Amino acid sequence: MTTDPLTDAIILDPSEAAPEAARAFLSDRFWEWGVEDDFDGRLIVSELVTNSFLHGAGAIVVRVFRDECSGLPVIEVWDESEEKPVLCPANYVSTSGRGMRMVDALAADWGVRPLAGGGKAVWAILAT
């Protein structure tokens, strides 16, 4: 894991340890801002990083910053894959595929944008 204080980002190796490191990074950022309730943020960053680890490619970049206009927290997870996350239909018997539905329910807004050098950034704006 590498931390870059200038961009409020960490670079994670794609591994099973990545979601935990991302949750800790988000909690530290929220603590610095005086935000006490980081539960939704930890769930969202964990899901986005897990998706990147399971379905993406290359290193995982996690950014946590405040939106310049609204001041709301923003989570971005970058990887080298062009594959976009899928919002699956509700399925109560499947053991996977619910994560982006959870992100959709918890985030004020979310989406995907392409990165200039290839890959994608999945972002979520929190209501907190």
Q: What is the CATH number of the domain that holds 13?
A: 3.30.565.10
Distances (CA, A) of 69 to 72, 74, 90: 8, 12, 34
- Residue 89 lies in domain: 2-125
Q: Check if the beta carbon of residue 75 is closer than 8 Å to that of residue 123.
A: yes
Q: Mean per-residue pLDDT for 95-102?
A: 73
* Number of separate domains in the chain: 1
Q: What percent of the chain has pLDDT over 90?
A: 55
Looking at the DSSP bridge assignments, the partners of residue 120 are 79, 114
User: What is the residue-averaged pLDDT of the chain?
Assistant: 86
Helix (H, G, I), strand (E, B) or coil at 19: helix
Looking at the DSSP bridge assignments, the partners of residue 122 are 77, 112
Question: What's the whole-model pTM score?
Answer: 0.87
Judge whether residue 85 has pLDDT over 70: yes
Task: Return the higher-pLDDT residue of 77 and 7.
Answer: 77
Half-sphere exposure of 87 (CA within 13 A, CB side): 9
Q: Strand locations in the chain, DSSP E? A: 2-4, 9-12, 60-66, 73-79, 109-114, 120-125
Provide the 8-state DSSP code for 7: T
The model's confidence at residue 3, banded by pLDDT at 50, 70 and 90, is very low
Please state, in angstroms and rounded to a whole number, the distance separating the CA atoms of residues 113 and 111.
7
Q: Mean per-residue pLDDT for 52-56?
A: 86
